[in-house]
């Protein structure tokens, strides 16, 4: 419509050009042209104002420096400076098709994927008169408390969600549909949500089909309680990396298939709670992931405590993860021995951090995370290989440093 109005404006001007050429002094014609152009400009202004009301743009950006005292690979950190892993840019557009229908598109560019543009959200939503909200398209898998804000670092108190919990599920979005319904009480809201669809694990190409689940959360804006359950069929390969010695002192890494998944059933269950009264912050989540066969079943959890002192928020986080089915990977064969090395994992992680809300909509975060208690496992890190001289894993702990800024606009 905007294009047509512009064409109309040009057409009117072109149509009047002959008259102007033959009667330059014709004040009546000039006045008529001016009036028509004013009308076109007024219509264009009205249309632009209408579009401004219907379309909203916002975004977020994070830049991070991370490093470690060794090459275990916690959050892909190693002993060199890494500026890519936690750096990202997101742009989101929301178009109000009607008072109850919206189209949402969120484009993500992550440093870890060479800033490749990817649609993280692309869905259509509609709220019915009975209060049910239906969404369809590409959506975030709503498994965790911070799932909807997983990439928006500014919305999180810590430098990054605890890897022990949030790293247990290797995909974050799905293509399908979901529905939610809010029940409002005097001072709180109960939200029920169901979802279903399919996805793909980006790093391995493993297909995730028949994905379905539900969650329920209650909040009074200070306390939030949440529970979730999901399940899916997994088909594809579980890969890991192995050091390959090409020549004495020359080592490279190669992917190898640890396990083939043939429509194995996977389930996810989690509970979470948070408290935020404007000063004290407390967040916790407990999760269990189970997959049929030799793929690991993992329990994990964390507790974060923080306290706001004006623009500063110091915080501490304690997190853990441990595989619960190690007896299914006893080294009774070469394949089982490889799976035991690749899948058996346990560790504790302790984070001490500070969030500084430096200016409006910009937070700077400093974080030091120490992980240990690997037991007789790699700790869940592909970079922790077995030292052939000792028969043990090379590292039994790691220390990670992070400096990061998160902004929204």
Per residue in 208-257, pLDDT tens? 999 999 999 999 999 999 999 999 999 998 877 655 555 556 555 666 78
Cβ contact 335:293 at 8 Å:
no
pLDDT band at residue 21 under the 50/70/90 scheme = low
Mean pLDDT of 114-136: 95
Residues with Cβ within 8 Å of residue 327, at least 6 apart in sequence: none
Per-position DSSP letters for 63-127, written without gaps between them: EEEEEESSSS-GGG--SS-BSSTT-EEEEEEEEESSSSEEEEEEEEEEGGGTT-EEEEEEEEEEE
Cβ contact 235:271 at 8 Å:
no
Number of Cβ within a 10 Å radius of residue 108: 20
Please say if the pLDDT value at position 341 is more than 70.
yes
Cβ contact 103:138 at 8 Å:
no
Mean pLDDT of 58-78: 94
- The pLDDT value recorded for residue 178 is 97
- The pLDDT value recorded for residue 245 is 53
| Bigger pLDDT: 202 vs 295 | 295
Please say if the pLDDT value at position 70 is more than 70.
yes
Cβ contact 302:285 at 8 Å:
yes
- The pLDDT value recorded for residue 37 is 81
Number of Cβ within a 10 Å radius of residue 21: 8
Rounded Cα–Cα distance for residues 240 and 254 (Å): 8
Q: What percent of the chain has pLDDT over 70?
A: 88
Domains of the chain by residue range: 56-408
Cβ contact 33:16 at 8 Å:
yes
Is 47 in a helix, a strand, or coil?
helix
pLDDT band at residue 339 under the 50/70/90 scheme = confident
Please say if the pLDDT value at position 135 is more than 90.
yes
Q: Which residues pair with 184 in a beta bridge?
A: 189
Can you read off the two tokens belonging to residue 178? Answer: 């979901």
pTM of the model: 0.82
Can you read off the two tokens belonging to residue 325? Answer: 């089915």
pLDDT band at residue 36 under the 50/70/90 scheme = confident
- The pLDDT value recorded for residue 28 is 77
- The pLDDT value recorded for residue 2 is 44
In this structure, which CATH number among 3.60.15.10, 2.40.160.10, 3.40.640.10, 2.40.30.10 belongs to the domain 56-408?
A: 2.40.160.10
- The pLDDT value recorded for residue 3 is 43
Round the average pLDDT of the chain to a whole number and report it.
88
> Is residue 52 exposed (0-12), middle (13-18) or buried (19+ Cβ within 10 Å)?
exposed
Q: How many residues does the chain have?
A: 409
pLDDT tens sequence across 1-18: 444 545 445 454 555 555
- The pLDDT value recorded for residue 244 is 53
Please say if the pLDDT value at position 204 is more than 50.
yes
pLDDT tens sequence across 74-119: 998 988 999 999 999 999 999 999 999 999 999 999 999 999 999 9
Q: What percent of the chain has pLDDT over 90?
A: 68
CA distances from 259 to 171, 295, 379, 381 (A): 18, 7, 19, 17
pLDDT tens sequence across 342-371: 899 999 999 999 999 999 999 999 999 999
Percent helix / strand / coil, the chain, rounded to 5? 20, 55, 30
């Amino acid at each position: 419509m905007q294009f047509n109005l512009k064409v109309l404006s040009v057409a009117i001007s072109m149509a009047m050009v002959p008259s102007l050429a033959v009667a330059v002094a014709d004040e009546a014609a000039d006045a008529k042209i001016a009036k028509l152009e004013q009308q076109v400009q007024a219509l264009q202004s009205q249309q632009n104002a209408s579009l401004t009301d219907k379309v909203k743009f916002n975004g977020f950006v994070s830049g991070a420096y991370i490093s470690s005292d060794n090459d275990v690979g916690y959050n892909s950190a190693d002993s060199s400076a890494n500026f890519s892993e936690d750096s990202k840019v997101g742009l989101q557009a929301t178009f109000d098709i009607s008072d109850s229908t919206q189209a949402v598109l969120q484009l993500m560019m992550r440093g870890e994927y060479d800033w490749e543009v990817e649609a993280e959200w692309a869905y259509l939503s509609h709220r019915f008169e009975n209060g049910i909200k239906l969404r369809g398209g590409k959506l975030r898998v709503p498994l965790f408390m911070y799932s909807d804000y997983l990439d928006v670092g500014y919305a999180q108190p810590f430098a990054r969600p605890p890897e022990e919990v949030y790293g247990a599920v290797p995909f974050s979005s799905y293509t399908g549909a979901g529905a939610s319904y809010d029940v409002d009480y005097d001072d709180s809201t109960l939200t029920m949500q169901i979802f279903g669809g399919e996805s793909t694990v980006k790093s391995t190409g493993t297909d995730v089909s028949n994905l379905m689940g539900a969650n329920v959360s209650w909040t009074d804006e200070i306390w939030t309680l949440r529970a979730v359950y999901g399940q899916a069929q997994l088909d594809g390969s579980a890969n890991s990396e192995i050091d390959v010695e090409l020549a004495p002192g020359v080592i490279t890494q190669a992917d190898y298939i640890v396990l083939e998944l043939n429509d194995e059933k996977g389930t996810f269950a989690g509970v979470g709670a948070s408290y935020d009264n404007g000063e004290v912050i407390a967040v916790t989540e407990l999760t269990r992931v189970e997959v049929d066969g030799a793929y690991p079943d993992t329990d994990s959890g964390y507790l974060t405590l923080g306290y706001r002192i004006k623009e500063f928020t110091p915080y501490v986080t304690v997190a853990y993860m441990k595989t619960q089915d190690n007896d299914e990977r006893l080294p009774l064969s070469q394949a089982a021995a490889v799976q035991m090395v690749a899948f058996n994992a346990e560790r504790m992680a302790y984070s001490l951090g500070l969030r500084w809300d430096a200016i409006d909509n910009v937070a700077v975060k400093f974080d030091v995370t120490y992980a240990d208690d690997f037991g007789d496992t790699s700790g869940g890190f592909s970079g922790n290989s077995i030292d052939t001289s000792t028969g043990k894993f090379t590292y039994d702990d790691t220390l990670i440093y992070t400096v990061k800024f998160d902004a929204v606009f």
